Amino acid sequence: MQQNTGFAAYFRPDKLEDSLELLSRQSLRVVAGATDIYPARVAHRAWANPQLESWLDISAISSLQGITTTATGWRLGALVTWSDLLAADLPPCFNALKAAAREVGGLQIQNRATVAGNLCNASPAADGVPPLLCLDAQVELASAGGKRVIPLAEFILGNRQTMRRSDELLTAIIVPSPGSTALAGNSLDSRFFKLGARKYLVISIVMAAGLVQWDENKNLVDCRFSIGSCSPVAQRLTAFENDLAGLNLDDMARGSLAVAELVTLDHIEFLSPIDDVRADAIYRRNAAVACLQELLESHVSFYRASVS
């Protein structure tokens, strides 16, 4: 009865402390770009199940804006939108995340939706997760009681589930620098591949991100790969990474066959793709392998071109 006679509250504080104080006292829906919350409301309303929740709108908290360089890497404030990210001057290790940014909805969404919101919404098809997993990103959670920093890989627990407690706010995404050589030149390369059934405005069927570093002897000294939309949470491919470690460019046969054959179904066997309207699980498995092949081929050919 309460829901029909009362009204929901809309809080829009401009100080982080006030937000945390509010969160410590009541359950609130956290809103920034609002690109996920309105569609959900519309769906509820269409089926006669209107939701009445109070909102904590964090968009006025200026301390949550901006991308800053730190001693160990970068810090993306919770209000950084995909467009902010695209406009920022960032090194090549962010190319995959930027490529993902270009494929999140249309420009209208990119101008509004935040990267942090993408993580908190925790969709299995969240475009930001695979690139950020490759960056070994962490999230900073703040509450009235203090702060904690958690690896992204641990933060998202499942479909629409995260470790964020209801009294916490995700205040920043922390990206550690992927090594000293990474910033020096083109030995580091990061890429993103999204497979969808149309060009724009598409939810991925499968997506993959990769980050590789080659040393001066053309050895692969660091490689990180992840796959999204094939499990409740996007996953790093540790076994695959281990198999690739130490490979030398000159040892690879010319032509991409050899490169493509480095990827096998075994590498993604631990994933748990589902059947849905976009594709069936078998296809997703095969496409995940093919996404990795595409990524690896373009990593290799890019590097080959840069050293030749």
CB distance 226 to 241 below 8 Å: no
**Quick one: which segment of 160-168, 181-189, 229-237, 249-257 binds other proteins (CB under 8 A)?**
249-257
Phi first, then psi: give them for residue 31, nearest 5 degrees.
-130, 135
Smallest distance from the beta carbon of 97 to other proteins, in angstroms?
18
Tokens of 236: 């790093």
For every residue of 82-99, DSSP letters joined together read HHHHHHS---GGGHHHHH
**Piece of the chain touching other proteins by CB under 8 A; list 137-145, 179-187, 235-243, 280-288:** 280-288
Q: What are the φ/ψ torsions at residue 161 (nearest 5 degrees)? A: -125, 130
Shortest Å, Cβ 246 to other proteins = 25
In angstroms, give the least distance from the CB of 88 to other proteins.
15
Pick 52 or 183: Cβ nearer other proteins: 52
The span of 12-20, 63-71, 88-96, 172-180 binding other proteins (CB under 8 A) equals 12-20
> Which residues in the 49-68 window bind other proteins by CB under 8 A?
49-50, 52, 54-55, 57, 59-60
Report the nearest approach of other proteins to the CB of residue 14 (Å): 4
Helix (H, G, I), strand (E, B) or coil at 43: helix
Look-up of token digits 């083109």:
186
The residues near 86 (Cβ < 8 Å, ≥ 6 apart) are 98, 101, 102, 110
Site string for other proteins, 94-113 (x = CB under 8 A): -----------xxxxx-xx-
Return d(Cα 298, Cα 267) in angstroms, integer.
19
Nearer to other proteins, 54 or 181 (CB): 54
Candidates 279, 295, 296, 300: give the one binding other proteins (CB under 8 A). Answer: 279
CA 83 – CA 58 distance, rounded (Å): 18
Compute the least distance from the CB of residue 216 to other proteins, in Å: 28
Where do we find the tokens 């919101």? 117
Strands (E), 166-236: 169-176, 188-195, 206-214, 220-228, 235-236
Which residues 251-270 are close enough to bind other proteins by CB under 8 A?
255-257
Residue 198 binding other proteins, by CB under 8 A: yes
Q: Does 294 bind other proteins (CB under 8 A)?
A: yes
CA distance 147 to 142: 4
Site for other proteins in 16-55 (CB under 8 A): 18-19, 21-22, 31, 33-35, 38-39, 42-43, 45-50, 52, 54-55
In whole angstroms, how large is the CA radius of gyration of the chain?
A: 20
CA distance 138 to 30: 20
**Matching residue, tokens 């009294």:** 167
* Residues contributing to the site for other proteins (CB under 8 A): 3-4, 7-15, 18-19, 21-22, 31, 33-35, 38-39, 42-43, 45-50, 52, 54-55, 57, 59-60, 83, 105-109, 111-112, 195, 197-203, 205, 255-257, 277-280, 282-284, 286-287, 290, 293-294, 297
